[in-house]
C-alpha cells in the first residue's frame, strides 16, 4: 500500500503542519502512482483511461509540473512537458485551497481562478481520479 512515510507527509500537509511548497503537489502524484498499482478501484480506472497528459502551472510562483496517467501507467515530473492534452493554471492560493478541499475546482474554474486550456474532458477525468485517490487516502488514514 501507500508508504507510511508518504501518508504521514500528506497528513501533515492536510493539517497545515510545517512549511508548504508548490512541489508538495508531487506527493499527491506519488500517491496516485503507488495506488495505481495497489488499489483495485484506482488500478482499474487508470487501466481503462486513455492516456492524458496534464500540465500544471502555479502562475504566481513560476512552478510547473506534469502528470501522465492512463492505459495502466502513471508518471509525473517537474517542469514543462511537450504537447499536454490539458493545461491548468492557478495561483498557489487556489491550488492550496483545492488541495485542502476548501475550494471546489468547478467553482474555481467558473470564477476564473482556475484556467483550463485544452481538452476539458481530460481535466474532468483527471479530477475524478484525484477524487478517488483522496477517498482511498482518507480510508488509509482511518478517517
- pLDDT at position 31 is 92
| Residue 134 pLDDT > 90 | no
Measure Cα distances from 82 to 22, 53, 65, 77 in Å: 21, 9, 12, 12
Report the range of poorest mean pLDDT among 10-19, 25-34, 120-129. 10-19
**What does the alpha-carbon distance between residue 28 and residue 74 come to, in Å, rounded to a whole number?**
12
Residue 115 has pLDDT above 90, yes or no: yes
Query: Could you tell me the residue range of the domain that residue 14 belongs to?
Result: 4-140
Count the domains in the chain.
1
What CATH number should be reported for the domain holding residue 77?
3.30.1050.10
pLDDT tens by residue, 21-73: 888 889 989 999 999 999 999 999 999 999 999 999 999 999 999 999 999 99
- Return the residue matching grid coordinates 480506472: 45
| Higher pLDDT pick, 12 / 79 | 79
User: Residue 14's pLDDT is what?
Assistant: 76
Amino acid at each position: 500500500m501507500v508508504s507510511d512515510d508518504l501518508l504521514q507527509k500528506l497528513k501533515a500537509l492536510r493539517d497545515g503542519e510545517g512549511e508548504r511548497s508548490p512541489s508538495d503537489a508531487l506527493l499527491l502524484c506519488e500517491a496516485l502512482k503507488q495506488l495505481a498499482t495497489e488499489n483495485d478501484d484506482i488500478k482499474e480506472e487508470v487501466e481503462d483511461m486513455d492516456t492524458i497528459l496534464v500540465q500544471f502551472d502555479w502562475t504566481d510562483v513560476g512552478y510547473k509540473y506534469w502528470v501522465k496517467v492512463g492505459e495502466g501507467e502513471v508518471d509525473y515530473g517537474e517542469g514543462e512537458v511537450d504537447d499536454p492534452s490539458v493545461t491548468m493554471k492557478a495561483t498557489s492560493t487556489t491550488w492550496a485551497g483545492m488541495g485542502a478541499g476548501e475550494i471546489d475546482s468547478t467553482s474555481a474554474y467558473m470564477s476564473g481562478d482556475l484556467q483550463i486550456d485544452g481538452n476539458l474532458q481530460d481535466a474532468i477525468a483527471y479530477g475524478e481520479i484525484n477524487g478517488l485517490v483522496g477517498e482511498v487516502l482518507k480510508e488509509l488514514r482511518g478517517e
